[in-house]
Amino acid sequence: MFKISVVGIGYVGLVAGVCFAEVGHQVTCVDIDEQRINMLKQGMSPIYEAGLDDLMQKNYAAGRLKFTTDYNKAYKEADAIFIGVGTPEQPDGSANLSYIATVARQIAETIEKDCLVVVKSTVPVGTNDKVEQFIHDFLTNDVRVEVASNPEFLAQGTAVRDTLEAARIIIGTDSKWAKEMLMKIYEPFNLPIVSVSRRSAEMIKYAANDFLALKISYMNDIANLCELVGADIQDVARGMSFDERIGSKFLNAGIGYGGSCFPKDTKALDYLARQNGYELRTVKAAITVNDDQKTILYRKAANRLITFDGLKVAVLGLTFKPETDDLREAPSLENVPLLLEQGARVYAYDPVGSDNFRLKYPESEYKINYVDKPEEALSGANVCFIFTEWEQIKAIKAETFQKLMRTPLVYDGRNIYPIQEMQDAGVEYYSIGRQAVENKDLKLSNIHNTSHRLHSA
């Protein structure tokens, strides 16, 4: 087994470190945030991820997992150092590599024995060549150091499983020594390993993520056309899914992709192409479609209503997907500000994302209330938006909307409910790529019910 240091204890680094310890390696996780390190030592994870806390506590108690801010000691003792720091998007779409550079220089000035440096962070093609040269430029001791690429392919909410039961592990190396060492590190995982050059590994990460983003945007584009021509996108997706060349995953239409990967990676690859004098037209189209898709329900509702001013608006789901507290590029971040600007009184529910959203939109500054139950958001609401398909939201019965809302008007960005079920319950229901309710008798009934509620109040 190897002594491994993992630097950057965010989403990528913490999951990697815990899983390396789980298969038997001695792992030291390094971060400059003392508060975060203290949390980890107390057995509390700074991120919400299913199964991570238990594995972390188990391996910490067994002595295979350590947490520290002292990078000097951690790097000196390491056989391999995995870099998992952030590469945030810059205004022009390029990746900010300053954190990578800082860590690379620290490694160069600290290591005292032969060491393999492995970049797990998502970086533009050619970055690992520069990282290796940068380390050599600042190297203090006469030791062998090489850089390898090892991109991660984690889905938030299933990251531990995606690591321990990965479909494949991608390693990018430019020497036999680096390749053999990295393969030995991953040997205990007993998973397929795809060994390629460093640049190919860097490109695989972008190509894979951007392809999935393309599938999502394509289905959303088709969904929008389905609404215009009278087709149902769920029927279309089901028919497509039987074709093994297409597969069944990432065919669900909705209000666009979000998270830490797809938005950033599509823009980064588009930027890389432009820097090399090439236009990635498919990726550009995916970006454009996704940007438009995020507010499509808001625009539908704005056309249906005279104004949002003074209305109680229920928002169900704040995170970009279920089983995570991550808000990055979430549709809620596009729509809630629009609603607030128009004078809406927003009542928001999310099982785990409310605290993070509150940091951006505190109750003291905005007309927004964070509630503990979806029923609190729906009670007396004039309109409801569904942005995340949490199980707690999917469990709401169709008749609950009709019973609790002042006007049972629902805009569902995740196509949770069958249209007929909502219509039978007396709900005016709009979704993505399916036919909106056009039952005039239903609308007249809703107007009558609303009038009755007002006179009874």
Question: What pTM was computed for the model?
Answer: 0.88
Q: Which helix (H) or strand (E) holds 385?
A: strand 383-386
Cα dihedral 432, 437, 443, 449 sign? negative
Q: Domain limits of the chain?
A: 3-196, 205-293, 296-456
296-456 shares the fold of 205-293: no
**Distance (Å, whole) CA 353 – CA 412:** 19
- Residue 48's H or E segment, with its range, is none
- Decide if pLDDT at 170 tops 70: yes
- The answer to whether residue 437 scores a pLDDT higher than 60 is no
Q: Under DSSP, is residue 451 helix (H, G, I), strand (E, B) or coil?
A: helix
The 10s digit of each residue's pLDDT in 37-59 is 999 999 888 888 888 999 999 99
Q: How many Å apart are CA 18 and CA 71, to the nearest integer?
A: 18
Name the pLDDT band for 457 (thresholds 50, 70, 90): very low
Give the ranges where 26-148 is alpha helix by DSSP (H).
34-41, 52-61, 71-76, 98-110, 127-138
**281-293 and 198-229 helices, crossing angle to 10°:** 50
pLDDT digits (tens, 9 = 90+) for 339-360: 999 999 999 999 999 999 999 9
* 261 belongs to the catalytic site: yes
Q: Which of 436, 434, 374 is nearest to 405 (CA)?
A: 374
> CATH number of the domain at 296-456, please?
3.40.50.720
CATH class of 3-196: alpha beta
**Catalytic option among 29, 226, 261, 384:** 261
Between CA 54 and CA 62, with CA 56 as vertex, the angle to 5 degrees is: 105
CATH 1.10.1040.10 fits 205-293, yes or no: yes
Q: In the prediction, which pLDDT does 46 show?
A: 87
